[in-house]
Amino acid sequence: MDKGKVWLVGAGPGDPGLLTLKAFQVLQEAEVILYDRLVSEDVLKLANPAAERIYVGKHEGEQHRRQEEILYLMLRLAHGGRNVVRLKGGDPMVFGRGGEEWRFLQEHGVPVEVVPGVSSAIALPALAGIPLTCRGYSSGFAVVSGHCREGEKQDWSRYARAETLVVLMGVKERSWIAGTLLDLGREPQEPVCFIEKGTTPEERVVEATLAAVARGKVEVLPPAVWVIGKVVALRQILLPAREGCHVR
């Protein structure tokens, strides 16, 4: 039997309208779909109805074990001649472990094709009225993971001087991260914004200051994209009719 193939596909931030045409085409032809926790049901509805769907979402504390199971599941399916779509929220190469999966499959002789997705790191701030770069406000930005391997902490000194910071998976450690950034010289009144469950009906936008986050005064639930920098202030100019949740 010929080997199957694996597509590493980005599902975007949740709204099916932000799925790429290439991703839609691949989903229509899939035989098996392995999908993550952040893939919306509306996106799954666009897939081949005859495709086998397997939920492979990870929960805290089981990431390493679960990831190894996913790798060998993809390998087994591909060696069985199945065409597999590994469907991930956002973009598979932005904190989606897509590079690890690609390398593993390549080492085992499985053909791989990447279908990039719209990353929540860029899409959600833009939709919330926060351009990550804007003359006079920010000439660049850094996208940083707020979550590291168990027992490790991010070295924020490498990113503290970035004009704009976009933090993914940082909700749980938000107070510690904010306090660390303050210790590294960022301004207490610097505006920040959390976009919680962006592009879904449950979307919630929370505006605050870095100092308020450090004091534990900002309530947010994951998943949320966290933007730190002067560009956050543009939200009140670009979307003046929308109300954020302001925390002093």
Q: What is the 3-state composition of the chain as percent helix, strand, coil, each rounded to the nearest 5?
A: 30, 20, 45
Nearest to residue 9, comparing CAs of 72, 71, 69, 89?
89
Q: How far apart are CA 144 and CA 33, in angstroms?
A: 28
Residue 175, helix vs strand vs coil = helix
Chain position carrying tokens 């933007």 = 227
User: Is residue 167 within 8 Å of 226, Cβ to Cβ?
Assistant: yes
CA 63, chain centre distance (Å):
16
5, 58, 155, 197: which is the annotated catalytic residue? 58
Q: How far apart are CA 237 and CA 131, in angstroms?
A: 11
Residue 91, helix vs strand vs coil = coil
Does the active-site annotation cover 58? Answer: yes
Q: How far apart are CA 106 and CA 125, in angstroms?
A: 34
In 47-131, where do the E strands start and end? 52-55, 84-88, 112-115
36, 88, 91, 197: which is the annotated catalytic residue? 36
Residues assigned a catalytic role? 36, 58
